[in-house]
Amino acid sequence: MGTIRIRVCGILEKNDELLLVKHTKNNKEYYLLPGGGVDHGEDFKTALKREFLEECNLNIQVEDMVFISEGIAPNGGRHIISIYFKVKYIDGDLKVGEDEGNLIGVEYIKKSDLDKITLYPNTKKELKEYFKDRNSGIKYLGNRWE
């Protein structure tokens, strides 16, 4: 039986733009929201802060949880749970982090241009709805272990 990968990602807005990371794989370019895997023993907020620093050279404040999505490969070989948080810029100069593999860029994309890019997972519709209404009702409760 395989394992489930948990990925956290952040929605960082600047005016009418959204921060995305650009990847390439098999000669195909695509975008993701900044973020990555949660390490064993690491809480979601700590993981997301680490990933933003590693990928984008930015320090952020993690705010409310916005979405949760799953990605299950048709052959069952991969299962990814993605947890999306609203984040706020604290400091740092935007640039691609070192040793980030397939990551080839970090850039702000106009929200109105989302339909022109390939975004994985494809959450364009949900992001546009979120930008309009901002009322998801989902909250992160932190570490509840006692």
| Residue 91: CATH number of its domain | 3.90.79.10
Q: How many Å from the N-terminal Cα to the C-terminal Cα in the chain? A: 29
Split into its structural domains, the chain has a count of: 1
CA distance 40 to 140: 18
Residue numbers of the chain with a pLDDT score lower than 70: 1, 99-100, 135-146
Domain of 28 in residue numbering reads as 5-133
142 in any annotated domain: no
Beta bridge partners of 107: 20
Establish if 138 belongs to a structural domain.
no
Dump pLDDT digits (tens) for 93-124.
999 987 667 899 999 999 999 999 999 988 89
Domain-embedded: residue 144: no
143 domain-assigned:
no
What is the 8-class DSSP label of residue 129?
A: H
pTM over 0.85? The answer is yes
Looking at the domain assignment, is residue 111 inside a domain? yes
Assess contact for 120 and 80: CB atoms under 8 A. no
